[in-house]
Amino acid sequence: MFATIIMQRNCRNWRLDNGACCCVGLKTMDEQENTSSNPRIGSGVRTISDLIEVRLSRRTFVAGLGASAVLPVAACSPTEETPVEVAKSAVFDFPEITRGLDGMHHVAEGYRADILLRWGDPLFADSPAFDPFAQTAEAQERQFGYNNDYVGYWPLEETEGGRGRGLLCVNHEYTSTPLMFPGLAGRKPTGEECAVELAAHGGTVVEIKQGADGLWETVVASPYNRRITAGSTPMELTGPVAGDPRVQTSEDPSGRRVMGTMNNCAGGITPWGTYLMAEENFNGNFLGSLEGGHPETESYARYGIPGGWYNWGVFVDRFDVSKEPNEPNRFGWVVEVDILDPQSTPKKRTALGRFKHEGAESIIAPDGRVVVYMGDDQRFDYVYKYVSTQVYTLDDREANMDLLEDGTLYVARFDDDGTVVWLPLIFGEGPLTPENGFQSQADVLIDTRLAADAVGATPMDRPEDVEPHPTNGRVYVMLTNNIDRTADQIDAANPRANNDVGHIIEIIEPEGDFAATESRWEILVRCGDPTDPEAGATWNSATSENGWFGSPDNCAIDPSGRLWVSTDGNQVTGAADGLWALATDGEERGAGQAFFRTPVGAELCGPRFTKDGKSLFLAVQHPGDGDDATFEAPMTRWPDFAEGQPPRPSVMVIRRNDGGTIGS
Ligand code: FEO
Ligand code: CA
Ligand code: CA
Ligand code: CA
C-alpha cells in the first residue's frame, strides 16, 4: 500500500488501458514539478565547498518521539476519530487527530466538517444536475469545477443578526481525467471530454451565506456567481508584455486578448478585493513540436513545453504548438479578477512574471506600495516578490485597480549568512541585456525563469505558497520537497540532499518593510519524521507523534496571527495529507499539531479562515486518486460514497460544535 501511495503522486492524468500515462515517453504533472528544467543545476551552481556556515534554526531541535502509528486503508465509510491526549499547548487548544490513512476525512473532536461545494454542484438557476455519465462542456460551464485548490473569501455586508455573507473564490487546478470520465480504459478522451476538461479548469466565484445555526450554504443564482474557465472566458493581457510579437497568434494578432486561464493552483485576494488566480502547470496542456531552430526553443525547454499531458491539442489548434507556437507564452501568468463585477474581463498581469505560479498573496508595505509574494513550483526554481510603483489608497477601490500593472519583480537569493537579497528583474540592468538574449522588458517577463537564472537566484526545494503575516513582518515560504538535490547541491536555505519531505522558511522583512530589497531568513522547521535520525527533521519537542508532517504546500494565518499548514505529499510518510497548526513564536516555536486529514489519494488546499476565526474553508483535491485509480475503481468514493459514482473534489467548511474560535 505504501508503495502504491508513493507512486500515485506521479500520475494524475488519464491513462491508456495498459495503465501507462497518456503522455507515454513524457512526464506527468508531479514528475514535471519534480524534475528540474533549470540549466544551472548540475553545472555546479553552489557546492558544499561554497558553504560558509550551515545555519540551523536557533530555536528548533529534534524531538524524541515514539514510533508513528500508520493505519491501514479502511473501507470507504466514515470512521470515528479517537482523540489523543497531548501536552497542553500555550498556542493552540484542540485535541489532535491521529496519523492514519483511510477513505474518509477526519477532524479534531469537538469540530464538524461539512461539505459546502462539490465538483458538479450547481451555481446558477439554470445549472443542470450533476450527471457524471452524461457530461458536457455546456453543463460544466454552469457547475462547480474540478480539483479545487485555492480558496479566498471576500465578505459582503452581513445579513440580519451578524451572520456572515460573502464571496468564495475557488481555483480549479487541473482535471484527473481517469477519475472524471467513465469507460476511459483502452481509448483516449474524445473532443467533447476535452471540452469538459477545459470547462472544469479555471475558477469559481460564488456567494455563500451563514444560517442562524452558523452553518454555510451557497446562494445559487446570486448575481455575483461566475465560472471562469479555460474554454470560454476571454481575458485581457496587460502590462509590459501586452501586444508583444511573442504573444500574438492567428486568433489574436493584437497579442492582447487570450481565451481562458488554466492550471489555477493557489492565488490570493488583494486588499482592494480582487481575486488573483495563479497559472501553474500550463506547459502540460500543449502538444506538438517546434520546427528545428525555432526562436522559442530555449524558452520552451526552460518551462517544459510542450508537456503533452492532455489530448486537447488534437481537437483545439491553439494547444498544438506546431500550429500556434506563441500560445504557451499567453499562459503562466497571474490573473486578476474583479469579483464585484461578474461581467468584467479578467486581466493577466504580466508585470508579475511568467512561471509555474503557485500563489499570489499580497500585503501593503509601510510606504503604501503593494507587495505580492510568489513561488515557482518546480524543483530548483525560485521565490519572487512584486512591488508596485504606485501606492495603495485606503477606501478607494477604483484607485487601486491597476496597482499590479506597473512595478518591479524581484527574485530571491538566500545567502548562507541569513540574508535574503531581492534581485530586480529589469531589462538593461545587470545581465538582462541583448547580449544575453533579452531585447525588452517583455522578454524578461516572458522568460522570467531565464532572467532569474541570469541574475543568480537561489534554486529552492519546490516553492509552493509564500504567505506574508499581516502583523509581525514575517513571510512563510512552503518548500514542498526535492529528492533530486544531491549532497553537493545543498546550501543553507536548502540544507538536505534527497529532501522528500520539505521544509518551511521564515523571511523576516526589516521593520516590517515588505518592499525591502534585503531581508533576513531562517528555517522554521525541517519536516519529516523526528524519530528517524536520518531524516534530519527539526521539530520542537512539544510535537507529538501526530504533530509532524511532510510536504508543506498551502498555508494560512488565522485572525489570531497563528500559522496553519496544509500538505501535498505527506503520504510518502505513510499517512494522509491534512492540516496542521504550527507554532511560530515562544517556547513552542516549531511545534506541530494535527487538526484535519483528507481521505486517501487527496491533498489538502485552501485553507482560509473567516475574519471572526470561527469558520475555516478547506479544499480537498483529487480524493481517491492513485496510480491505477479510475472512475470505475477509485481509492475512495468520498464524499458521496454512492455505488458506481466517482469521488468528487470538494470544499469543506469547518466549525467548532459550540460555534467558538477554531484552534482556541
Ligand atoms: Fe499546484 Fe504547486 O501545487
Ligand atoms: Ca495542487
Ligand atoms: Ca499547491
Ligand atoms: Ca503540491
485-525: pLDDT as tens digits: 999 999 999 999 999 999 999 999 999 999 999 999 999 99
Cα three-residue angle 366-369-372, rounded to 5 degrees: 105
Atom of ligand 1 nearest to the CA of 377: 2
Helices (H), 296-358: 297-303, 312-315
Q: Phi first, then psi: what are they for 530, rounded to 5°?
A: -70, -10
Grid coordinates representing 433 are 541585456
180-200: pLDDT as tens digits: 999 998 899 999 999 999 999
Distance CA 369, CA 373 (A): 13
Q: Where are the beta strands (DSSP E) in 306-345?
A: 334-338
Contact 462, 479 (CB under 8 A): yes
Residue 40: predicted pLDDT: 82
Decide which of 56 and 537 is more confident: 537
Q: What is the mean pLDDT of the chain?
A: 90
Grid coordinates representing 390 are 504606485
Task: State which amino acid sits at residue 399.
Answer: A
Contact 391, 367 (CB under 8 A): yes
580-595: pLDDT as tens digits: 999 999 999 999 999 9
Biggest CA–CA distance in the chain, Å, is 67
Residue 31: predicted pLDDT: 61
Using the predicted structure, report yes or no on whether residue 49 has a pLDDT greater than 90: no
Distance CA 522, CA 503 (A): 11
Contact 371, 268 (CB under 8 A): no
pLDDT band per the 50, 70, 90 thresholds, residue 160: confident
Q: Phi first, then psi: what are they for 476, rounded to 5°?
A: -105, 130
pLDDT band per the 50, 70, 90 thresholds, residue 73: very low
Atom of ligand 1 nearest to the CA of 265: 1
- Give the ligand with the smallest distance to the CA of 502: 4
Using the predicted structure, report yes or no on whether residue 51 has a pLDDT greater than 50: no
In terms of Cα–Cα distance, which of 467, 269, 298, 509 is closest to 383? 467
Which residues have any ligand 1 atom within 6 Å of their CB? Answer: 173, 265, 280, 358, 377, 464
Q: Give distance in angstroms: CA of 414 to centre of ligand 4.
A: 22
Residue 228: predicted pLDDT: 99
Atom of ligand 1 nearest to the CA of 266: 1
The CA–CA distances, whole Å, from 325 to 197, 258, 322, 333 equal 22, 14, 6, 17
Using the predicted structure, report yes or no on whether residue 231 has a pLDDT greater than 50: yes
Cis check: omega of the bond before 639, within 30 degrees of 0: yes
pLDDT band per the 50, 70, 90 thresholds, residue 14: very low
Grid coordinates representing 556 are 494560512
In terms of Cα–Cα distance, which of 410, 265, 277, 417 is closest to 348? 277
What 3-state class would DSSP assign to 456? coil
Contact 577, 592 (CB under 8 A): no
Distance CA 96, CA 65 (A): 15
Distance CA 93, CA 565 (A): 16
Indicate the pairing of strand 274-279 with strand 334-338: antiparallel
Atom of ligand 1 nearest to the CA of 358: 2
The CA–CA distances, whole Å, from 22 to 287, 466, 597 equal 12, 32, 30
pLDDT band per the 50, 70, 90 thresholds, residue 52: very low
Atom of ligand 1 nearest to the CA of 480: 2
428-477: pLDDT as tens digits: 999 999 999 999 999 999 999 999 999 999 999 999 999 999 999 999 99
248 burial (CB, 10 Å; 0-12 / 13-18 / 19+) is middle
Q: Give distance in angstroms: CA of 477 to centre of ligand 1.
A: 14
Q: Give distance in angstroms: CA of 415 to centre of ligand 3.
A: 25
401-413: pLDDT as tens digits: 999 999 999 999 9
pTM: 0.90
Residue 611: predicted pLDDT: 95
Grid coordinates representing 293 are 531552430
pLDDT band per the 50, 70, 90 thresholds, residue 41: confident
Q: Give distance in angstroms: CA of 298 to centre of ligand 4.
A: 26
Q: Phi first, then psi: what are they for 15, rounded to 5°?
A: -125, 160
Residue 29: predicted pLDDT: 58
- Number of other CB atoms surrounding residue 395 within 10 Å: 7
Indicate the pairing of strand 463-468 with strand 563-567: unpaired
Distance CA 179, CA 14 (A): 8
Using the predicted structure, report yes or no on whether residue 374 has a pLDDT greater than 50: yes
**Residue owning grid cell 516590517:** 512
Contact 199, 229 (CB under 8 A): yes
Q: Whose CA is nearest to atom 1 of ligand 1?
A: 265
Task: State which amino acid sits at residue 120.
Answer: G
Residue 9: predicted pLDDT: 32
H or E element at residue 216: strand 216-218
Grid coordinates representing 100 are 492514519
Q: Give distance in angstroms: CA of 77 to centre of ligand 4.
A: 26
Distance CA 101, CA 5 (A): 10
Grid coordinates representing 157 are 455586508
Q: Give distance in angstroms: CA of 466 to centre of ligand 2.
A: 15
Q: Give distance in angstroms: CA of 614 to centre of ligand 3.
A: 24
pLDDT band per the 50, 70, 90 thresholds, residue 215: very high
Contact 545, 65 (CB under 8 A): yes
